[in-house]
Amino acid sequence: MEITVQQLKAKLDSNEDFHLIDVREPYEYEEANIGGQLMPLGELMDFLDEMEDWKEEEIVVMCRSGNRSGKAQVFLETNGFENVLNLKGGMLAWQNEIEG
């Protein structure tokens, strides 16, 4: 499943309880981020132990365009995470539609 940038902004604005994971590289995260936890896609496997308690919780994964986060979504679902949403359009869509 996907989530739009507008839906994500509404969740952030209302302080909903969910995990926001940014799977971009550190240099991309430093350029612009919206407060997600940085877990680069290539290192996602290394974070599985600390994410163990999140298997039934809502997780939103994001990247630059939605491609890498789509891969992260499949990886997490394959590893037993039940409620993973991919940010449609990623940071590019956020910058275009939210930041304008």
**Catalytic positions:** 63
Q: What is the mean pLDDT of the chain?
A: 97
Among 49, 50, 47, 76, CA closest to 61: 76
For residue 18, count other CB atoms closer than 10 A to its CB: 16
Kindly report the CATH number assigned to the domain that includes residue 31.
Answer: 3.40.250.10
List residues bridging with 37 in a β-sheet. Answer: 21
Q: What is the mean pLDDT of residues 61-88?
A: 98
Report the pLDDT value the prediction gives residue 67, as an integer from 0 to 100: 97
For residue 99, count other CB atoms closer than 10 A to its CB: 10
- Its domain, for residue 85, covers 2-99
**Six-digit token pair at 61?**
């994964």
Contact 85, 60 (CB under 8 A): yes
Task: Provide the whole-model pTM.
Answer: 0.96
Residue 100 has pLDDT above 90, yes or no: no
| Total of domains in the chain | 1
Report the pLDDT value the prediction gives residue 74, as an integer from 0 to 100: 98
Residue 40 has pLDDT above 90, yes or no: yes
